[in-house]
A and B are shown apart, each in its own frame.
Chain A
Amino acid sequence: MKVQIHVSLKPGVLDPQGRAIHHALDGLGFSGINDVRAGRLIELDVDENVTDEALDEMCRKLLANMVIENYRIERA
């Protein structure tokens, strides 16, 4: 089964990449953008018996850096 891991920067952590994207969108003439935050999407294809606990551990041990990032696990 497919699992999506959404990794995003914690609120309050400055996001230079998000700011650059914001700047570029402004430059293209799009208006009304208040903020941009860039994150990462990791898709896993796992066996049915892989538990939520195991997925959680994968995130904490490797997929997200808990100092600066949050993660959200979504089973398809």
Chain B
Amino acid sequence: MAFRSAVITFPGSNCDRDMAVALEHVSGTPALRVWHGDSALPEGLDFIAVPGGFSYGDYLRCGAIASRSPVMRAVIEQAERGVPVLGVCNGFQVLTESGLLPGALMRNAQLNFTCRDVPLRVENSQSLFTSGFEAGQEISLPVAHHDGNYFADEETLDRLEGEGRVAFRYLEAINGSQRGIAGVLNQAGNVLGMMPHPERAIEDVLGGSDGYTLFESAVKSLAEA
């Protein structure tokens, strides 16, 4: 069965094409492209990706305006029905701003834009996005962000840890994130937000293929479902 995925594009998104290429590369089916002003998503989606970039120029707060756009209402509805949603970088910011994921992403503690490969540990290998990894596996993915400093109150952080909702953790302090959190899952496990870019690491000639494993996990888990 064809893997039916959609990539949302906001004004200022710039990783949408990479995301679509990655989804097609891994699943063999071209991803549908959806414009932010659309109020409906294509029918019968298996996977929704909210890509990185600088939606609305990061005005007000990163992801704030995009999270209130018409298409996000449809994304939230689909997420609540259990459709897998992946938000990367600015997409992660959009998902926290929309309330699909807890916490907020603040300016990097050292104030620099950080653009490099970073080592990560897979903390939860049971999710539909991470089942192709071993628990505790160390992987490498590129980051490129100015506002990736994950913040949530202590109670929320304890809950996330207790429920196994920290998907990835930085192995180096790169942006000041609370407890080194690089990616979090929602309670149902069908929404993942992460600052590192899996779509930029889908084959070794691009510097690594750990991102491939993430998309492959999602494609496989849907095929098995």
How distant is B67 from chain A, measured CB to nearest CB, in Å?
9
| B window 166-210: CB within 8 A of A | 176
Nearest-CB residue, chain B, relative to A10: B153
| A window 20-76: CB within 8 A of B | 20, 61-63, 65, 67-68
CB-based A-B contact count at 8 angstroms:
35
The reply to whether B104 and A65 contact each other, CB–CB distance below 8 Å, is yes
How distant is A40 from chain B, measured CB to nearest CB, in Å?
8
> Which B residues lie within 8 Å of A62 (CB)?
60, 64, 68
- The secondary structure that dominates the A interface is helix
A14 to B150, CA, bound (A): 11
The reply to whether B68 and A16 contact each other, CB–CB distance below 8 Å, is no
Nearest-CB residue, chain B, relative to A40: B60
How distant is A38 from chain B, measured CB to nearest CB, in Å?
10
The reply to whether B151 and A13 contact each other, CB–CB distance below 8 Å, is yes
The reply to whether B152 and A67 contact each other, CB–CB distance below 8 Å, is yes
18 A-B contact pairs sorted by A residue (CB < 8 Å): A13-B106, A13-B151, A14-B106, A14-B109, A14-B151, A14-B176, A16-B106, A16-B108, A16-B110, A20-B111, A61-B68, A62-B60, A62-B64, A62-B68, A67-B96, A67-B102, A67-B104, A68-B106
Interface residues of A (CB under 8 A from B): 13-14, 16-17, 20, 61-63, 65, 67-68
Interface residues of B (CB under 8 A from A): 60-61, 64, 68, 96-97, 102-104, 106-111, 149, 151-152, 176
